[in-house]
């Protein structure tokens, strides 16, 4: 089979905002869901609201170690009350008899009839009685029933990506299992005759395949099921065969390399021979050559439909940055997540960049001890060291020079990698 021509007119460069909007518009959330144990649901996307069937706390509880009392019993000069019961956490108290106090511990249910707790530091024990040295107000040091959660409340809406604290919240209402979107299935392969796996001899002109490790790690953090088709030779037929195999039973095909305009870049024409491309090349640095489209399933007689396709550039920083800015939100939206955009922060630039690029730049930077931002001195798309050194990316608009002291938009890796 002959290789299709690379001489077609180049598509205009899209802005990063328009490119992301194109991807998200195509990311129709998957319909399949599954029930998983709450303990195993970290990072998954809720497919149904989590509704509480109880109040939290389920009863009035003490917020302190101390003594539960009736405020009305403390209006007279006599502040010495007999201790009528002891209430540890996890035990049911008896109603508090008038004129008595109950020894109580943090988290324990407040006895019926008691309307305040006096912390133990404001009391003195006197045999079987306690002297109350403080006049409390009604409700003092009592956490009211339902103060955190009311019965019938939606505590976690569908579309929530489950954080550790969200799992704790679900557990606090007794939810042992959660309904979540099934794991996304992603096929990956890497093009380039120069690519070598660590542990193998490095031939002249060869490089180790760092992108395979970076991208698989990023996909794993997003709870994807990854099928790795490995390194594909720089040939049109081999690339096409890999796409056909990857389209089966996957939600997304993700590739690295081969999406530029060189004679050895076969991914773009191979995708076009099997499906379509909706965009190609973005006005950003690093990462201009990024392709998005779909590959038909059933090209070899299998079931029909399409599998999404995203082709990342081969340079390691470009591949890393474009994954964070485009693939991550695309996959989250495909899983049904409502919030897919990272939260940016405004920080001070402690450096000067005298000339802006015509494209939207994403500069690797880190926060210094003074709370400002320093940039890595070499912003080349081949310098992977900058991604480990940095704390995030400065989102610098096209043609914008940066002066020391100005405020810039910063995307922390803690947001982009979470």
Report the pLDDT value the prediction gives residue 254, as an integer from 0 to 100.
97
Cβ atoms of 94 and 68 within 8 Å: the answer is no
> Per residue of the chain (418 residues), what is the pLDDT tens digit?
444 444 455 557 899 999 999 999 999 999 999 999 999 999 999 999 999 999 999 999 999 999 999 999 998 777 899 999 999 999 999 999 999 999 999 999 999 999 999 999 999 999 999 999 999 999 999 999 999 999 999 999 999 999 999 999 999 999 999 999 999 999 999 998 888 889 999 989 899 899 999 999 999 999 999 999 999 988 899 999 999 999 999 999 999 987 665 545 788 889 999 999 887 789 999 988 889 999 999 755 455 699 999 999 999 999 999 999 999 999 999 999 999 999 999 999 999 999 999 999 999 999 999 999 999 999 999 999 999 999 999 999 999 999 999 999 999 999 999 8
Residue 195 structure tokens: 């690519």
Report the pLDDT value the prediction gives residue 1, as an integer from 0 to 100.
42
Residue 160 class from Cβ within 10 Å (0-12 exposed, 13-18 middle, 19+ buried)?
buried
Question: For residue 170, which phi and psi values (nearest 5 degrees)?
Answer: -60, -40
Superfamily of domain 16-31+183-334 in CATH is MoaB/Mog-like domain (3.40.980.10)
**The CATH number of 33-51+154-181 is which of 3.90.105.10, 3.40.50.300, 3.10.520.10, 3.30.420.40?**
3.90.105.10
pTM score of the predicted model: 0.89
Q: Say if residue 286 is preceded by a cis peptide, omega within 30 of 0.
A: yes
Q: What gap in Å lies between CA 188 and CA 227, rounded to an integer? A: 6
Report the pLDDT value the prediction gives residue 6, as an integer from 0 to 100.
47
Residue 393 structure tokens: 């990316």
Q: Where are the domains of the chain?
A: 16-31+183-334, 33-51+154-181, 61-143, 345-416
If you search the block for the tokens 């249910």, which residue do you land on?
109
* SS3 at position 226: strand
b/e sequence 260-276, b meaning 16+ C-beta within 10 Å = beeeebbbbbbbbbbbe
Cβ atoms of 52 and 149 within 8 Å: the answer is yes
CATH class of 345-416: mainly beta
Superfamily of domain 61-143 in CATH is Molybdopterin biosynthesis moea protein, domain 3. (2.170.190.11)
């Amino acid at each position: 089979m002959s290789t299709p021509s690379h001489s077609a007119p180049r598509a205009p460069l899209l802005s990063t905002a328009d490119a992301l909007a194109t991807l998200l518009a195509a990311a129709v959330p998957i319909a399949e869901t599954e029930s998983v144990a709450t303990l195993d649901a970290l990072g998954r996307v809720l497919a149904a609201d989590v509704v509480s069937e109880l109040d939290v706390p389920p009863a009035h509880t003490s917020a302190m170690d101390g003594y539960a009392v009736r405020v009305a019993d403390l209006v007279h000069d006599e502040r010495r009350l007999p201790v009528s019961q002891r209430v540890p956490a996890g035990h049911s108290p008896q109603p508090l008899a008038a004129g008595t106090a109950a020894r109580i511990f943090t988290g324990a249910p407040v006895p019926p009839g008691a309307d305040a707790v006096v912390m133990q530091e404001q009391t003195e024990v006197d045999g079987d009685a306690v002297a109350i040295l403080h006049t409390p107000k009604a409700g003092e040091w009592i956490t009211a029933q339902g103060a955190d959660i009311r019965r019938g409340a939606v505590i976690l809406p569908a579309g929530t990506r489950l954080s550790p604290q969200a799992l704790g919240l679900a557990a606090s209402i007794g939810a042992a299992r959660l309904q979540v979107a099934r794991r996304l299935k992603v096929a990956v392969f890497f093009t380039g005759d120069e690519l070598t796996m660590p542990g193998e001899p490095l031939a002249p002109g060869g490089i180790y395949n760092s992108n395979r490790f970076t991208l698989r790690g990023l996909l794993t953090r997003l709870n994807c099921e990854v099928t790795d088709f490995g390194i594909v030779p720089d040939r049109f037929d081999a690339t096409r065969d890999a796409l056909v195999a990857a389209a089966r039973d996957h939600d997304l095909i993700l590739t690295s390399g081969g999406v530029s305009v060189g004679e050895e870049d076969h991914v773009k024409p191979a995708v076009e021979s099997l499906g379509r491309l909706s965009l190609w090349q973005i006005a950003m640095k690093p990462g201009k050559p990024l392709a998005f489209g779909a590959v038909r399933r059933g090209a070899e007689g299998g079931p029909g439909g399409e599998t999404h396709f995203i082709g990342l550039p081969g340079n390691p920083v470009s591949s890393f940055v474009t994954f964070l800015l485009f693939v991550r939100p695309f996959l989250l939206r495909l899983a049904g997540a409502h919030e897919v955009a990272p939260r940016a922060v405004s920080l001070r630039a402690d450096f000067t960049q005298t000339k802006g690029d015509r494209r939207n730049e994403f500069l690797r930077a880190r926060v210094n001890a003074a709370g400002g931002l320093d940039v890595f001195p070499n912003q080349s798309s081949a310098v992977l060291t900058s991604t480990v050194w940095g704390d995030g990316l400065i989102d610098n608009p096209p043609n914008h020079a940066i002066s020391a002291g100005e405020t810039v938009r910063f995307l922390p890796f803690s947001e982009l990698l979470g």
